[in-house]
Amino acid sequence: MKRALAGAFALALTTFFMISNLSARGNNETTAEGAREMIIGVLDAVSPDSIHSFDLKLVSFGTRHTMSDTTSPTRGIGAARRWIESKFREFASSDPNFKVFKDEFLQPVSSRISKPTNIVNVYGILRGTEGPSGRYIVLSGHYDSIVSNFMDSTSDAPGADDDGSGASLVIEAARAFTSSGFRPAANIVFLCCAAEEQGLYGSHHFAQMAEQNGWNIVADLNDDIVGGTRGGNGVLENGEIRVFSEGLREVTIGDRKIAASMFGYESDSPSRELARYINNAARMYLPGFKTDLVFRSDRFLRGGDQTSFNEFGYPAVRFTEPNEDYNHQHQYVRVENGVQYGDLPVFVDPSFVALVCRVNSASAALLSVSPSRPQEPVMMVDKLEYGTRLRWKNPRSAAVSGWKVYYRETWQPLWSNYVFVPYTAAGGEIEASLPELSKDKFIFGIATVGKNGVESPAVVPLPQR
């Protein structure tokens, strides 16, 4: 079926995905008001005190080095992971849809692993109504820690910020989702990884396991170093969080791999669309708190678990505090010339972590009640013409109200305008004709909008002759 959308400019408004103007119709699971209420319920449940207590508990294990003690009930990574598991089990006892798992494997000797080491990722899954074959959204942080000598597995490595902050955030998010009775459509995974500091081994194994199980992971939100508000540069900043996302190197059309730069798609990877989605989620639910989008996969000389997800083709971003203090990361705890070194809890601001937790939670919650992205979107380039024709598959879903065809000039970083294409029950292929918008001037991205007003991340259409 074809839809002519003449006068697209007249329709184009600088409006982001507003929940409020689409009222609930039909037999979808959540209404617009219901979705918003559920999400606010989660955000309200996030508590700085709770995050603070989790972070202190993680620090209390002395060191959480990946090769540290696993038998002591009070010290080392074994005690830490048993405690994380016990917290998740506590949440599971109050929410039958929350299940607790371990992803455990033996890592052989490698550059940063001096003896065969049992590595354990601990995670909980809040089952969505889509069930195990549905979509997965991952919130991740790593619970292992290190000091200056990354092979030292016995000295105190408090890791309050790196990454006690991210692990506490993940545990707190699990508590907030389960205690508020949130019911997602997609599955939400709360993942505490090990061996990040030794070479991303935990997250790599998890992403590989997900791929082998055929999990449809639509997002990994990785939180690593999200607790410090005063940087080593002296700047105090507690009103924003950096969100790193990798770009797109190439696109695959049929068997052909084509440089993304051919189409100006370098900035339209699934990870970057996820970053834009998070930016919008933060603007909707935390309007006073800024997401500082960094169009890079990470900082220089640093890495993180988001890369493991990217390597297996999953969209992933990294959250990190705006100004880091290197005296408080990967350091032996000591005072030198009056300067305190070490990753201590005093340098973590739980109120700030709570804000970052709310950005994560709002994004994950929206994603979890959003419809799936448009299927097989293409932009027709079979002949020279002035406008733009887009096609995509119409999913068999009663919960879809339509699609937003976003567009922006090629030099713009964020989606600024859209045209709405209503759902048609006829099924099959949708064609949107935009005669006044030149595909040579704009980049297009299509997002599915649910009847609950919540939309999917955008996806760029591939050129089709």
Q: Which residues bind Zn ion (CB under 5 A)?
A: 162-163, 224
Q: How far is 101 from 81, CA to CA, in rounded Å?
A: 12
Count CB atoms within 10 A of the CB of residue 52. Answer: 20
**Angle at CA 165, nearest 5°, toward 162 and 171?**
130
Compute the least distance from the CB of residue 66 to Zn ion, in Å.
12
Task: Pick between residue 163 and residue 172 the one whose CB is nearest to Zn ion.
Answer: 163
Compute the least distance from the CB of residue 335 to Zn ion, in Å.
23
- Token representation of residue 440: 């040579």
Task: Pick between residue 226 and residue 459 the one whose CB is nearest to Zn ion.
Answer: 226
Compute the least distance from the CB of residue 303 to Zn ion, in Å.
9
Compute the least distance from the CB of residue 225 to Zn ion, in Å.
6
Element containing residue 357 per DSSP (H, E): helix 350-368
Compute the least distance from the CB of residue 200 to Zn ion, in Å.
10
Chain-centroid distance of CA 302 in Å reads 19
Q: How far is 108 from 113, CA to CA, in rounded Å?
A: 7
Task: Pick between residue 224 and residue 268 the one whose CB is nearest to Zn ion.
Answer: 224
Task: Pick between residue 357 and residue 365 the one whose CB is nearest to Zn ion.
Answer: 357
DSSP string, 285-343: H-TTSEEEEESSSS-TT---THHHHHHTT--EEEEE-SS--GGGSS--SEEETTEEES-
Compute the least distance from the CB of residue 150 to Zn ion, in Å.
12
The answer to whether the CB of 157 falls within 8 A of the CB of 147 is yes
Compute the least distance from the CB of residue 224 to Zn ion, in Å.
4
DSSP string, 48-113: HHHHHHHHHHHHTTSB--TTS-SS-SSSSHHHHHHHHHHHHHHHHHH-TTEEEEEEEEEEPPBTTB
Residue 246 one-letter amino acid: E
Task: Pick between residue 227 and residue 377 the one whose CB is nearest to Zn ion.
Answer: 227
Strand partners, 100: 124
- Token representation of residue 11: 């329709």
Task: Pick between residue 39 and residue 160 the one whose CB is nearest to Zn ion.
Answer: 160
Task: Pick between residue 55 and residue 163 the one whose CB is nearest to Zn ion.
Answer: 163
Compute the least distance from the CB of residue 256 to Zn ion, in Å.
38
User: Which DSSP symbol is given to 197?
Assistant: T
**Cα radius of gyration (the chain):** 23
Compute the least distance from the CB of residue 141 to Zn ion, in Å.
8
Task: Pick between residue 103 and residue 224 the one whose CB is nearest to Zn ion.
Answer: 224
Task: Pick between residue 127 and residue 142 the one whose CB is nearest to Zn ion.
Answer: 142
